[in-house]
Structure 1
Amino acid sequence: MAPAPIEGHSHAWPAIQRDFEEKRRLTWVGPQRPLTAQHSRAHSTVHSYAVVMLVLRGETKVRHAGDLVLRAGDVHLIPPGDAHGREHSDAECMGLGFYPEALSSDAEERASRLGPLLRVRGGCHPVLRPTPVQRRRLLRWMRLMEEEQTRQERGSDEASLSLLRLVLVELERMAFPDVVPESSSMGLSRRALTYIETHCLEPLSLAKVARELGRSAPHVAAVVRQETGRSVGEWILECRMAEARSRLRHTDERVDIVADRVGYADVTHFIRLFRRVHGVTPAAWRRRMEAGVR
């Protein structure tokens, strides 16, 4: 996602979007303007955050576990790692992106709150059709989140996370249609990501992921790379870094303790990987977050 802002939107938009893409901000919400044929996306997109897209008006064609047509009132759910893309669209949408680590510092609690998106990962249809009342509530929570992220007053981050939880509760209330068929390759990629997310803090490798899925390592590696644009190792690193950021934000654990908690016995190796991903050491990143620097 990370859609472009509509004309006349807040001047703070580019900084907000950049902070979200660089993981200094855990949530992002805003409008998505119509997509003309000139700007049509020929290739699929994959990202490490989740997306909830509410179509306000118009119609859009989407590729996500098949070809979909979204109309006003529809809600499109995109779990992390799911390949998707928009074709020609005259729709106006409100989009919400968030990193799962925003929900809780506890992995099991995060999984419980991600129910609607994890069911999509498991094969449920990625489009919800809420009632008018549900749609109005969902839009209200998203509008309020947009206001909070733009104003950035004291407590805005906490308010945004509270509103995110309301959004997820609203999604839980919406009925999911039956499971839709999908290609075996897409199903394998999704199963691999789900296994990685669940076991990333344990000793984990491509060979172990493949063994658990009952496939050869080269086959799993090729499918995940083809469907997501990232390797299995990169997804393991992404999940571990998400847990590390959560611990750096929410605990006062020493960096060597954080390293051990997220699967790295060698703290120097952990610091090197963290710096490669975030541009700063874990200690410097924590200081930035404590100081409110984005």
Structure 2
Amino acid sequence: MYFVNKEYLEQATFLSAGTFITDQPWIHKERIIDSYEIISPVDSTLYIESNNVPYAIESGEILVVPPHTLHRGLKVYQGRMKFHWLHFSASCLKLKTEAEVIQEISENDLDRLIILPVYTNKVDSRRFHIMFNQLLDLYEEKKHKNYLNAYLSCLLYELTSEIMNYLIQKNFNGNQLQPIQDWIRIHAFENITLEHIANHFKYNKNYLSRIYKENTGIGISEQIIKFRLKHAKELLTETDLSIIEIASEVGYDDSKYFMRLFKKYETVTPTQYRKTFYRKHFNKK
């Protein structure tokens, strides 16, 4: 389960933060608070129950306790205990299932989407911990509340980014890209854009761009260029069309831009390429 806000505009308010450390026998007190709390152990395991669900939170894992939720320790911990904690308030966070979150990712503007896990052990939290320590320094220096709120937003976006990466990799099958890649190949010589493609396949354009690059290694804009240049090379070697005509044929009204692009990707000009490869397949000797 995840807490989601699809219209996040710095609505979170920083309240307090700290690092709890003890070498004495200890158990988390039973509590109900009116804010969100993020808990992440540093070098120990925290046994805790939140909303009647038991957790054994290992180092680097993250638990988010929502407001007005009973949470308490499950066992007395013997030895050193150290964990980060952060309290903040936020409006419009709604609890959603993983399937609902995937739908939100595919349909909404990723730049405004906040996704916080109820619990996760699937993300790389190293940067989160670095940012937390920086936020803690700012808090202890009694920085202006707007400064703290802004940095809190950065931290929440970092956690959101990690969650998005995990969910996309887990739920998106690379085979789903084949129809998209075929459509781009067929329409590459037309005046198409990322937005056109996203609308055709009913994806959010940022989401589509992200999953396409993660699965193919190149962005959609570059994919269009590659299809266009591939056809341009065929026309250069198999026809007598002029450079201007070939540029237009593969989707470029500006022939000078086409020539610069060709040189960038092929390291030679269209004319040089033609002289080197022109009708070479007709040579039988």
TM-score range, shorter chain: 0.3 to 0.5
Compute the TM-score of the two structures, normalised by the length of structure 2: 0.41
Higher alpha-carbon Rg: 2
TM-score, length-normalised on structure 1? 0.40
Greater share of residues in strand: 2
**More contact order relative to length (CA 8 Å, sep ≥ 6):** 2
